[in-house]
């Protein structure tokens, strides 16, 4: 059992910068006098029913597959109305532009899209599976999510329009802005007294 | 140094999405101000209340009061219910107003069904940013009308991405799994059996003030600062649950997931979970409001609001962050270098004068108590200073107790206004020694997100309110 947070602190400091280390310990310092053993063991069925997240290294990706062509069908039927025929977004629906803007991040008028800004392809799969289509979240099959992800990434010229997207190929995709993120460097203004 | 008034946005200064967002907020605020003005004129009041542009449309206020006074005899019981509610401001019931309340009996005890409401004369409300959808949208807390440090539950700001789910607590559960010795599932009843704590903490959206990076844009403090609220939260320390399930070596992050239509997710460093994170089920002495995550919310004191996952259904312990949409596409801070800061969790020290503030009007020269709020995600507010001359000189404000860590702190400062134009500012210092910077210092440090516009999130610069010779108060930039 893991109760010492020291090694973890080092990791976080690496990932999130020095800002973390000056967080004061408000502390849940009061004693823990458990174990209380409330609740019940979560069965693998319990977990499987909820465990839909997908990580950059592909952990969590389900079985199934799709490609640009099948994705185009899904997109036209279930996404186009809000994200537009050219994936450029339709402001009045709240549906964002999904492609474009590559190279715009230093332009003074950055356009943040899946193509220009998102660091991982896994995030597209994860987000579409959990939250899209906006009017029927969670309604797509895993094959449909793979397909529409392949279509978006194909339109963005990130993923080969002839290739199959599945649990093996998705984690290998390198997004254009994969190296665009850095640790939080705050405090970044020093008026300390 | 710059001192400029609010003006229309110019096209080349913002990317389209940001400009639409900001222009939408300008419109929403203007609508709210217009309806408040209607109410203030009807009151014809030069008292302190008259200085506050608070509340929604009440054009009916005078005529209805006369009507109510005329029909106030014995009709009390009949007024209760939906008819009474329809005419009243949100959160209030319309009751008859007695001409002389000492000459007739008042309304009947407990006839409100056992749950009280605010006075029908109190009208302040949250207003909503007009996003394309009402499901993914946000509302602002009316800080200008707020007193003390606690935000009434019904006025706590909101940010939803898939509407407000209506959850039966009897069927809700929290599943904790991943890098643990034994995954567990907790009903609400199970969770409430654990030893609990109550703590006062603010939650602030890191988008608070996003309109104000470049120039003064919104007019009221509700618009410029209304995405922060303070609540007494009650719940179970997350560390208790981590001990119960047994966290394995190498675990470093926790995915928190909500049970709403967005199935909202954020990755949280496990260090925060061991430190002061809570699983909260109560707010200001009663169950959480549905808009605040009923029946269960993750509370991460001092972290940006988006991480305080509402309607919490699952915690997954892992070695790596999950890189969800909300921590990549959103809630990252694009700098002028083209690189974006990620996992910028901490809400840094910030303060704002809430009285007097934008769109109020001081009726005449003389004494006023300047008052406002200060808070820091890094702990306790140590000091607040106020300037009445645009930052040339600073004086200590009085901090009103209780002063609690990661909590709104009320400050007060006596001021004799000489009737000449003045610029009011506040700046705070927290227990780490950090002093609230000017907006210019932040822009110098971060750039305006690629050249022309702000990185949107985490604006904690000093706010300036200009008081004109006629007593009118407006939002300006002065540094």
CA–CA gap between residue B121 and residue B88 (Å, rounded):
9
Interface of A with B in 107-166 (CB under 8 A): 107-112, 114, 117-120, 122-123, 126-127, 130-131, 134, 137-138
Closest Cα partner for B279 from B253, B298, B257, B305? Answer: B298
**Mean of the per-residue pLDDT values of chain A:** 88
Q: Which residues of B touch A111 (CB under 8 A)?
A: 15-17
> Among all residues of chain A, which has the CA nearest to that of B454?
A108
B407, B375 Cβ separation under 8 angstroms: yes
> Among all residues of chain B, which has the CA nearest to that of A115?
B329
- Which among B248, B271, B339 is the nearest to A182, CB-wise? B339
A2 close to B (CB below 8 A) = yes
CA–CA gap between residue B17 and residue A97 (Å, rounded):
10
* Region A44-172: CATH code: 1.10.760.10
Give the gap in angstroms from C-alpha A175 to the nearest C-alpha of chain B. 12
Digit-coded pLDDT (tens) for B414-465: 999 999 999 999 999 999 999 999 999 999 898 875 444 557 899 999 999 9
Q: Do the chains contact at A110 and B450, CB–CB below 8 Å?
A: yes
Q: Which residues of A touch B161 (CB under 8 A)?
A: 131
- DSSP-derived 3-state class of residue B154: helix
CA–CA gap between residue A153 and residue B318 (Å, rounded):
27
Q: What is the pLDDT of residue B337?
A: 86
Q: Which residues of B touch A96 (CB under 8 A)?
A: 17
Interface test with B, best of A152, A186, A190, A193 (most B CBs within 10 A): A186
> Among all residues of chain B, which has the CA nearest to that of A25?
B275
A31 close to B (CB below 8 A) = no
Residue A108 C-beta-side C-alpha neighbours within 13 Å: 5
Residue A20: CB partners within 8 Å, gap ≥ 6? A9, A12, A13, B269, B271, B346
Q: What is the pLDDT of residue B439?
A: 94
CA–CA gap between residue B180 and residue B202 (Å, rounded):
31
The ipTM of this complex is 0.87
A51 close to B (CB below 8 A) = yes
Digit-coded pLDDT (tens) for B177-220: 999 999 999 999 999 999 999 999 999 999 999 989 888 999 99
Where chain B has pLDDT below 50, the residues are 1-12, 40-50, 53-81, 83, 450-452
- Which among B17, B132, B270 is the nearest to A92, CB-wise? B132
Q: Do the chains contact at A50 and B314, CB–CB below 8 Å?
A: yes
- Which among B176, B194, B442 is the nearest to A36, CB-wise? B194
Q: Which residues of A touch B321 (CB under 8 A)?
A: 15
> Among all residues of chain A, which has the CA nearest to that of B406?
A26
Exposure class string for B451-463: b at 16+ Cβ within 10 A, else e: ebbbbbbbbbbbb
Closest Cα partner for B368 from B43, B146, B51, B145? Answer: B51
CA A67 to chain centre: 20
> Among all residues of chain A, which has the CA nearest to that of B249?
A2
Q: Which residues of B touch A134 (CB under 8 A)?
A: 133, 135-136, 162
Q: Do the chains contact at A53 and B131, CB–CB below 8 Å?
A: no
Rg (CA), chain A: 21
| Domains of chain B, each with CATH number or no CATH | 60-120 (no CATH), 158-334 (3.90.420.10), 350-476 (2.60.40.650)
Q: Is the pLDDT of residue A29 over 80?
A: no
A85 close to B (CB below 8 A) = no
A103 close to B (CB below 8 A) = no
Interface test with B, best of A8, A122, A133, A138 (most B CBs within 10 A): A8
- Helix A142-155 vs helix A121-131: angle between axes, to the nearest 10 degrees? 130
Q: What is the pLDDT of residue B466?
A: 98
Pick the more confident residue, B211 or A30: B211
Strands B312-318, B173-178: pairing kind: parallel
Q: Is the pLDDT of residue A133 over 80?
A: yes
B254, B270 Cβ separation under 8 angstroms: yes
For the whole prediction, is pTM greater than 0.90? no
Q: What is the pLDDT of residue B170?
A: 98
The two three-digit tokens of residue A130, written as one number = 């959990």
Residue B212: CB partners within 8 Å, gap ≥ 6? B218, B224, B439, B459, B461, B463, B475
Q: What is the pLDDT of residue A106?
A: 87
Task: State the pLDDT confidence band at A30, using cuts at 50, 70 and 90.
Answer: low
Domain ranges in chain A? 1-41, 44-172
């Amino acid at each position: 059992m893991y109760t010492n947070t020291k090694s973890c602190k080092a990791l976080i400091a690496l990932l999130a910068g020095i800002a973390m280390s000056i967080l004061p310990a408000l502390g849940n310092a009061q004693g823990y006098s458990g174990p209380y053993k409330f609740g019940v063991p979560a069965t693998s069925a319990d977990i499987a029913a909820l465990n839909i997240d997908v990580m950059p290294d592909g952990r969590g990706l389900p079985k199934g597959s799709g490609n640009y062509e099948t994705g185009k069908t899904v997109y036209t039927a279930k996404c186009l109305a809000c994200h537009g025929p050219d994936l450029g977004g339709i402001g009045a629906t709240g549906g964002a532009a999904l492609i474009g803007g590559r190279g715009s991040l230093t332009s003074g008028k950055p356009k943040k899209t899946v193509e220009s800004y998102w660091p991982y392809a896994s995030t597209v799969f994860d987000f579409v599976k959990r939250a899209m289509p906006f009017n029927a979240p969670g309604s797509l099959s895993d094959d449909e999510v793979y397909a529409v992800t392949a279509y978006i990434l194909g339109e963005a010229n990130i993923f080969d329009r002839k290739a199959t997207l599945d649990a093996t190929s998705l984690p290998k995709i390198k997004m254009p802005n994969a190296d665009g993120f850095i640790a939080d460097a705050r405090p970044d203004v020093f008026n300390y007294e | 140094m710059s001192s400029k008034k609010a003006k229309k946005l110019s096209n080349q200064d913002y990317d389209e999405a940001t400009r639409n967002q900001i222009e939408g907020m300008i419109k929403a605020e203007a609508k709210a101000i217009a309806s408040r003005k209607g109410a203030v004129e009807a009151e014809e009041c030069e008292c302190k209340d008259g200085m506050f542009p608070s509340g929604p449309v009440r054009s009916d206020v005078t005529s209805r009061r006369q009507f109510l006074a005329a029909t106030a005899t014995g009709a009390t019981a009949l007024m209760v219910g939906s008819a009474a509610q329809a005419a009243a401001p949100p959160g209030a019931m319309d009751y008859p107003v007695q001409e002389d309340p000492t000459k007739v009996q008042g309304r009947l005890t407990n006839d409100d069904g056992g749950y009280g409401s605010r006075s029908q004369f109190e009208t302040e409300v949250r207003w909503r940013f007009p996003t394309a959808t009402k499901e993914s949208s946000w509302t602002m807390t009316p800080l200008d009308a707020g007193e003390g440090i606690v935000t009434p539950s019904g006025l706590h700001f909101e940010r939803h991405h898939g509407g407000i789910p209506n959850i039966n607590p009897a069927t809700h559960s929290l599943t904790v799994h991943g890098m643990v010795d034994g995954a567990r599932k907790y009903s609400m009843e199970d969770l409430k059996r654990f030893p609990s704590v109550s703590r006062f903490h603010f939650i602030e959206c890191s988008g608070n003030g996003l309109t104000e990076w470049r120039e003064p844009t919104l007019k009221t403090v509700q618009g410029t600062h209304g995405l922060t609220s303070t609540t007494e939260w009650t719940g179970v320390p997350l560390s208790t649950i981590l001990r119960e399930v047994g966290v394995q070596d190498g675990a470093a992050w926790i995915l928190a997931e909500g049970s709403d239509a967005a199935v909202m997710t954020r990755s949280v460093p496990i260090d925060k979970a061991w430190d002061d994170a809570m699983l909260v089920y109560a707010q200001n002495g009663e169950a959480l409001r549905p808009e605040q995550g009923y029946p269960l919310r993750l509370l991460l004191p001092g972290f940006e609001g988006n991480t305080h996952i509402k309607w919490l259904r699952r915690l997954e312990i892992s070695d790596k962050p999950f890189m969800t949409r909300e921590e990549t596409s959103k809630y990252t801070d694009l700098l002028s270098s083209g690189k974006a800061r990620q996992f910028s969790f901490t809400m840094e020290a910030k303060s704002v004068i809430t009285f007097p503030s934008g769109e109020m009007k001081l009726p005449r020269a003389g004494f006023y108590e300047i008052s406002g709020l200060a808070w820091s995600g890094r702990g306790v507010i140590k000091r607040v200073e106020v300037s009445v001359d645009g930052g040339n000189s600073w004086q200590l404000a009085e901090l009103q107790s209780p002063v609690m860590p990661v909590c709104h702190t009320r400050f007060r400062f006596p001021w004799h206004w000489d009737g000449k134009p003045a610029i009011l500012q506040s700046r705070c210092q927290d227990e780490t020694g950090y002093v609230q910077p000017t907006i210019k210092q932040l822009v110098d440090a971060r750039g305006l997100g690629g050249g022309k516009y702000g990185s949107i999130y985490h604006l904690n610069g000093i706010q300036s309110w200009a008081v004109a010779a006629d007593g009118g108060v407006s939002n300006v930039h002065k540094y």
